[in-house]
Amino acid sequence: MRKFDLCLNSEGAEVILATSSDEKHPPENIIDGHVRIEKLVIQSYFVRTLRIEKSTSKEPTDFEQWIERDLTHTEGQLQNEEIIARDGQATYLRFIILSAFDHFASVHSVSAEGIAVSNFS
């Protein structure tokens, strides 16, 4: 099966809600059906602890904690975090910055490698 980036706008991904953003950098900048995610790559800045929740519902509800990760501080550079996902079937993902290394933290891109599936078997 062909693997591809499931977080692209062309693949149907969209930002449902962002609780914090900057007008120069709208939440939709993070992205360009049901899927099975095998790997996530996240580029961020000053993020200390990141939690990722997932939902398999038809609507963005019933989220469950999936991954929580402490990131390494990289002075003056983007953090590049690669996460090999287990049990990665999801319809929606929610990214929560639990703590930061400074007052301002940002997520620059999210890439999810995996396979689109028609239903969960």
pLDDT confidence bin for 62, thresholds 50/70/90: very high
In whole angstroms, give the CA distance from residue 14 to residue 110: 12
pLDDT confidence bin for 41, thresholds 50/70/90: very high
Residues in CB range of 57: below 8 A, 6 or more apart: 91, 92
Checking if the pLDDT of 30 tops 60, the result is: no
In whole angstroms, give the CA distance from residue 99 to residue 102: 9
The pLDDT, as a whole number, for residue 32 is: 43
**Higher confidence at residue 13 or residue 63?**
63
Q: What is the mean pLDDT of residues 104-115?
A: 89
DSSP class of residue 37 equals E
Tokens of 55: 């939902």
Is 95 buried (19+), middle (13-18) or exposed (0-12) by CB count in 10 A?
middle
